[in-house]
Amino acid sequence: MENFDKITYREELKARLRRFALNLIELSKQTPFNSESKVLMNQLLRSGTSVYANYRASCRARSKAEFFSKLSIVVEEADETEMWLDLVIFSKINDSDLAKGLWTESLEILKIMAKARKNSNP
């Protein structure tokens, strides 16, 4: 992949992760508040927004090793986000179409990030 293509791809992925984080915030706003939803949504927002933040940090890595390390965090956070979404949906705290769509998107993001990490092994 040429350098320009890499830059374009990274910017498009950043935009996708930003949309994902913003949609998680919207899901949180639409979720009825109770003690269970408070815990799950708090964890979901932490991990889901961390995917975006850590991917941005990985794009500014100073070495291949640092890029791999940051991307490893992204993979962990993406996996955790998928798990929280799974619990939110199957506990019926919020099993809306938005929640289900975010769960599908979280799986796609996890696959993309895991593949990127595998391909960037230092």
pTM: 0.93
Q: Looking at this protein, which amino acid is placed at residue 81?
A: T
Start-to-end C-alpha separation, the chain: 18
Could you read off the pLDDT of 36-76 as tens digits, one per residue? 999 999 999 999 999 999 999 999 999 999 999 999 999 99
pLDDT at 2 over 70: no
Could you read off the pLDDT of 93-120 as tens digits, one per residue? 999 999 999 999 999 999 999 999 999 8
Domain count, the chain: 1
Q: Looking at this protein, which amino acid is placed at residue 40?
A: L
Contact 13, 112 (CB under 8 A): yes
Evaluated on CA atoms 4, 54, 81, 22, the torsion sign reads negative
Q: Which domain holds residue 85?
A: 3-119
Determine the pLDDT at residue 69. Answer: 96
Q: Looking at this protein, which amino acid is placed at residue 21?
A: A
The CATH number covering residue 84 comes to 1.20.1440.60
Over residues 23-43, mean pLDDT: 97
Higher pLDDT, 5 or 25: 25
Closest to 72 in 3D by CA, of 84, 93, 54, 96? 54
pLDDT at 20 over 90: yes
